[in-house]
Amino acid sequence: MEINWKKEVEIRKTELLEDLFTLLRIDSVRDDSKITPDAPVGPGPKEALEAFLAIGERDGFITKNVGNLAGHIEFGEGEELMGVFGHVDVVPTGTGWDTDPFVPVIIDDRIYARGSSDDKGPTMAAYYALKIIRDLKLPISKKVRVIIGTDEESGWKCMDHYLENERIPDFGFSPDAEFPIINGEKGMQTFMVQFRGDNKGGKNELLSFDAGLRENMVPQDATAVFISPEADKIEQAFAAFLENNPVKGTISVAGEQVTIELIGKAAHGMNPAAGVNAGTYLATFLNKFNFGGQAATFLELIAGRIHLQHDAQKLNLAYTDSVMGELTMNAGIFTFTPSTGGELALNFRYPKAFPKRASKLS
């Protein structure tokens, strides 16, 4: 029996897009401020999970909600269990969208919405593949579960809870990467670098520095507020900085208080070179001026060892594996206040031969 898979998908294209758009309209960013016993990672991820399971139930599949953290859609019989792992939570939207990130639109045959590629779109595609197999009454020798998580982008509470309460699949794959199949994944570790101590002693005084939404995202926006007796000089230098770097920004001066806002380009933390890190660019600019105490240390480290150093070479952590490639580092979150000092979240993706080296950092 020869099957034209593309034709089968085209037959169901309208329905597939309708179901996908139902999911894409749900703001499923984890919201810890709205966590309840009934919504363990917030109401948005729960709503998206329930919506996906409702689609499976509508189509006649066996479905199960596992504590509003995860669930599955099941088909087939057999002793072996295959898992298809997807997720419906999404990272924060950030800024710079030309369209509403939760109002999906199709422009030039591309779907624009948060989650269209990570990971609502691919998970829905996998579900429809299973649906086609069922509709065509194709024989399968294994039980298949499309397993849907709600916390992949943050703490993985979904999979921890699911695997504690449900059968662990004998094998599986995740439609959350490049096609056809990636048979390995780098390890991941986030280190928090803290700066504590006095903030005085320089000509300029840093009042606040903020950039980034998540450790696994390249910060698109960064803001710094500081006191400076040389505001005119800084304004002139900032104009030149914008001309010579791939960022946009604004500067405002009120007396001796200066506020700088910088806009770069967001990207996934797995490939930080694809983005423009507004946090490191802003720190690099400020490092040209005289700050004191831990503010100076904060800016110097970022400018000297983090900025454009996606392989962590200047931290003596660079490593390359012949199969998995290079270690990558993403500086995802930057914060600084005079009372709490500075904090920097560094998210590392390291290849398979790296754990013995990484253990030395702990």
Catalytic residues: 89, 152
SS3 238: helix
Rg, Å, the chain Cα set: 24
Query: Each residue of 180-219: b (16+ CB within 10 Å) or e?
Result: eeeeeebeeeeeeeebeeebeebebbbbebbbbbbbbbbb
The closest alpha carbon to 66, from 177, 154, 168, belongs to: 168
User: 84 near 146, Cβ under 8 Å?
Assistant: yes
Q: Which helix (H) or strand (E) holds 130?
A: helix 120-135
Side-chain-side CA neighbours of residue 323 (13 Å):
9
Q: Which helix (H) or strand (E) holds 223?
A: strand 221-227
89: left (phi over 0), alpha (psi -120 to 50) or beta: beta
Question: What Cα–Cα distance (Å) separates residue 267 from each residue in 13, 100, 302?
Answer: 29, 18, 19
The phi, psi pair for 232, rounded to 5°, reads: -60, -45
Rounded Cα–Cα distance for residues 327 and 194 (Å): 22
End-to-end CA distance of the chain: 56
Query: Tokens at residue 179, please?
Result: 């096609």
Strand partners, 111: 106
Side-chain-side CA neighbours of residue 49 (13 Å):
30
